[in-house]
């Protein structure tokens, strides 16, 4: 069967590419071997948010005293929260299926393998059928990194070491949870399991948590979670995982922490093997498919979107990359920009970031000014956050007077950071930004307040 576009992989990059291509009238085939929605919908972004919301309600019920709310005995039913999470996932997977149908996309649920090229295009097989596509969009995603640390493989096979996939379906709350890697997945899972009763220890190789996040914000996040009872071991190198714990080296000494379960969250790697990519000779670098700004690979007509190109492993990046690929297939020139992609850590408080941090701006030799404000400048924040210690940080280019970056830690940072992303993306001048009107009272107003601390020129 011949198609204008074949999309390999049904995660956010793949399903949105298929949807947009189908909507534009291109005959489109989407091939997915596991579950529509990919990691994001089935074992990542969405299920973690469903669980974190249950934990947040539990926290609010237990800690409402300062707001005049005292509850009786509050209990938490992890199994019920997991069942609700599964229901949320099922609903949304059904939504994607409906979207594919509405946009006339054919879905092949099976393993797709690239077999070669003919005059008509690229050939693939799935479920015993052969398909040919004039264009191919690769959206095969990423897998968790399992490092060659002694005990990791054995622990994973025994169900003692978990990745994001298994931990989201754990049928109980472990007493001692050790999390290796204090990045986004590690911190979100630390937040959930801390709220619902585990003692959580985060072992992180670097001297700070939350990877590239602004250093002050990382420190505030760490302090918040230490207060809640999470233990952080920084500058710590894991050397082995035994049947009952994790051994790491720090300050030249070996330490062992007992664990009932270990979560491994030290990053993800693009999936480029096992589906015949080599038959096309697509160029890869450090395990990722190389793409241009039009999302095309080294092979004309073959595009790569989402985690597989290793550029920014975020679902919302994949969405936009998918649109860029489809627009170029349609002959509409479109390019991908990576400078204003917001990122969020869904802890409580949340962390929202966009653009340059002080570290990255300095490394690029940019001349910039920084304003840091406590979130207390927002009336709404004070009304709703007893004892909150959130901050906002904005970076302005000294010469162009345009916003370079914005970073914040507060409970609704995920929703607020969007406005800052628009400011960075559209490169509006400071004087114009100051004319924007924000609703009052909102936590978002803090951005306006931050901008007014800076002179127009
Ligand atoms: P990550 O890259 O965010 O964090 C990994 C952490 O592990 C880093 O801090 C790193 O220094 C540390 N590390 C590496 N090797 C280590 C070792 N041997 N011992 C101790 N620490 C070690 O990766 P993570 O959390 O696995 O997430 C994977 C991807 O999924 C990321 O690209 C992330 O952006 C994405 N994601 C995004 C979410 C969001 O947008 N809210 C939520 C979850 C995942």
| β-bridge mates for residue 162, sequence order | 263
Cα 414 to Cα 223: distance, rounded to the nearest angstrom: 20
What's the confidence (pLDDT) of residue 450?
97
440 assigned to active site: yes
Mind listing the pLDDT tens digit for each residue in 26-70?
A: 999 999 999 999 999 999 999 999 999 999 999 999 999 999 999
Q: How buried is 218 (Cβ within 10 angstroms: 0-12 exposed, 13-18 middle, 19+ buried)?
A: buried
What's the confidence (pLDDT) of residue 50?
98
> Which of 101, 26, 282 lies closest to 7 in space, CA to CA?
26
Given the CA of residue 164, which atom of ligand 1 is nearest to it? Answer: 26
Mind listing the pLDDT tens digit for each residue in 308-336?
A: 999 999 999 999 999 999 999 999 999 99
pLDDT at 457 over 90: no
| DSSP-assigned letters across all residues of 217-279 | HHHHHHHHHHHTT-EEE-S-EEEEE-SSEEEEEETTEEEEEE-SEEEE-S-EEE--SSSSGGG
pTM: 0.97
The pLDDT confidence band at residue 190, using thresholds 50, 70 and 90, is very high
What's the confidence (pLDDT) of residue 40?
98
Going by DSSP bridges, is the β-strand pair 161-162/253-258 parallel, antiparallel, or unpaired?
unpaired
What's the confidence (pLDDT) of residue 358?
98
Mind listing the pLDDT tens digit for each residue in 247-260?
A: 999 999 999 999 99
CA angle 340, 342, 347 (to 5 degrees): 165
Mind listing the pLDDT tens digit for each residue in 289-310?
A: 999 999 999 999 999 999 999 9
Given the CA of residue 44, which atom of ligand 1 is nearest to it? Answer: 43
Cα 239 to Cα 152: distance, rounded to the nearest angstrom: 10
CA of 390 to the centre of ligand 1 (A): 23
Q: Chain-centre distance of CA 157, in angstroms?
A: 26
Catalytic-labelled residue, pool 63, 172, 283, 440: 440
Q: Which of 12, 47, 184 to mutate to test the pocket of ligand 1 (most atoms within 8 A of CB)?
A: 184
Across the chain, what does the average pLDDT equal?
A: 97
Mind listing the pLDDT tens digit for each residue in 366-413?
A: 999 999 999 999 999 999 999 999 999 999 999 999 999 999 999 999
CA angle 384, 410, 234 (to 5 degrees): 135
Mind listing the pLDDT tens digit for each residue in 333-367?
A: 999 999 999 999 999 999 999 999 999 999 999 99
| β-bridge mates for residue 263, sequence order | 162, 179
> Is 71:61 a contact under the CB 8 Å cutoff?
yes
Given the CA of residue 237, which atom of ligand 1 is nearest to it? Answer: 19
Q: What domains appear along the chain, each with residue ranges and CATH number?
A: 2-143+269-329 (3.50.50.60), 152-266 (3.50.50.60), 343-451 (3.30.390.30)
Given the CA of residue 265, which atom of ligand 1 is nearest to it? Answer: 26
CA of 311 to the centre of ligand 1 (A): 14
The pLDDT confidence band at residue 241, using thresholds 50, 70 and 90, is very high
**SS3 label, residue 405:** strand
The pLDDT confidence band at residue 244, using thresholds 50, 70 and 90, is confident
Q: Which of 162, 266, 313, 315 to mutate to test the pocket of ligand 1 (most atoms within 8 A of CB)?
A: 266
Cα 279 to Cα 200: distance, rounded to the nearest angstrom: 46
Q: Which residues of 386-401 are buried (b: 16+ CB within 10 A; e: fewer)?
A: eebebbbbbbbbeeeb
pLDDT at 421 over 90: yes
Q: Which of 53, 185, 265 to mutate to test the pocket of ligand 1 (most atoms within 8 A of CB)?
A: 185
**SS3 label, residue 179:** strand
Cα 71 to Cα 449: distance, rounded to the nearest angstrom: 37
Mind listing the pLDDT tens digit for each residue in 138-176?
A: 999 999 999 999 999 999 999 999 999 999 999 999 999
CA of 225 to the centre of ligand 1 (A): 18
Ligand 1: lining residues by beta carbon, under 6 Å? 44, 147, 180-186, 188, 203-206, 211, 238, 265-268, 313-314, 343-346
Mind listing the pLDDT tens digit for each residue in 67-97?
A: 999 999 999 999 999 999 999 999 999 999 9
């Amino acid at each position: 069967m011949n198609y204008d576009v074949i999309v390999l992989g049904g995660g956010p990059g793949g399903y949105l590419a298929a949807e947009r291509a189908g909507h534009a009238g291109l005959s489109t085939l989407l091939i997915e071997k596991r579950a529509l929605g990919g990691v994001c919908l089935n074992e990542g972004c969405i299920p973690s948010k469903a669980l974190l919301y249950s934990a947040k309600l539990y926290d609010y019920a237990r800690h409402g005293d300062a707001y005049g709310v005292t509850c009786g005995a509050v209990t938490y039913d992890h199994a019920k929260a997991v069942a609700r999470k599964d229901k949320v996932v099922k609903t949304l997977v059904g939504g994607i299926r409906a979207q594919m149908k509405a946009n006339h996309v054919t879905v092949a649920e099976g393993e797709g393998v690239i077999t070669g090229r003919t005059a008509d295009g690229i050939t693939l097989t799935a479920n015993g059928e052969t398909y040919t596509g004039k264009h191919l969009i690769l959206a095969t995603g990423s897998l968790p990194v399992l490092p060659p640390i002694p005990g990791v493989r054995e622990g994973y096979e025994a169900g003692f070491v978990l990745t994001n996939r298994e931990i989201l379906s754990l049928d109980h709350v472990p007493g001692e949870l050790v999390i290796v890697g204090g990045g986004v997945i590690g911190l979100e899972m630390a937040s959930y399991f801390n709220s619902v009763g585990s003692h959580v220890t985060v072992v992180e190789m670097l001297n700070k948590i939350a990877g590239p996040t602004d250093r002050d914000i990382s420190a505030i996040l760490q302090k918040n979670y230490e207060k809640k009872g999470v233990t952080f071991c920084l500058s710590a190198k894991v050397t082995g995982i035994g049947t009952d714990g994790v051994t790491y080296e720090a300050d030249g000494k070996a330490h062992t922490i007992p664990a009932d379960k270990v979560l491994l969250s030290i990053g993800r790697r693009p999936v480029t093997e096992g589906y015949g990519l080599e038959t096309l000779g697509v160029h890869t670098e450090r395990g990722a498919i190389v793409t241009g700004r039009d999302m095309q690979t080294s092979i004309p007509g073959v595009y790569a979107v989402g985690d597989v190109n290793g550029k920014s492993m975020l679902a919302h990046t994949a969405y936009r990359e998918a649109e860029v690929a489809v627009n170029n297939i349609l002959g509409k020139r479109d390019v991908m920009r990576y400078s204003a992609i917001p990122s969020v850590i869904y802890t409580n408080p949340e962390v929202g970031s966009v653009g340059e941090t002080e570290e990255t701006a300095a490394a690029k030799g940019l001349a910039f000014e920084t304003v840091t404000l406590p979130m207390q400048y927002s009336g709404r924040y004070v009304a709703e956050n007893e004892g909150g210690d959130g901050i906002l940080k904005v970076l302005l280019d000294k010469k162009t007077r345009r916003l370079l970056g914005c970073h914040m830690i507060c409970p609704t940072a995920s929703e607020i950071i969007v406005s800052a992303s628009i400011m960075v993306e559209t490169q509006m001048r400071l004087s114009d930004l100051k004319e924007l009107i924000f609703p009052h009272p909102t936590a978002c107003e803090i951005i306006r307040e931050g901008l007014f601390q800076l002179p127009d020129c």
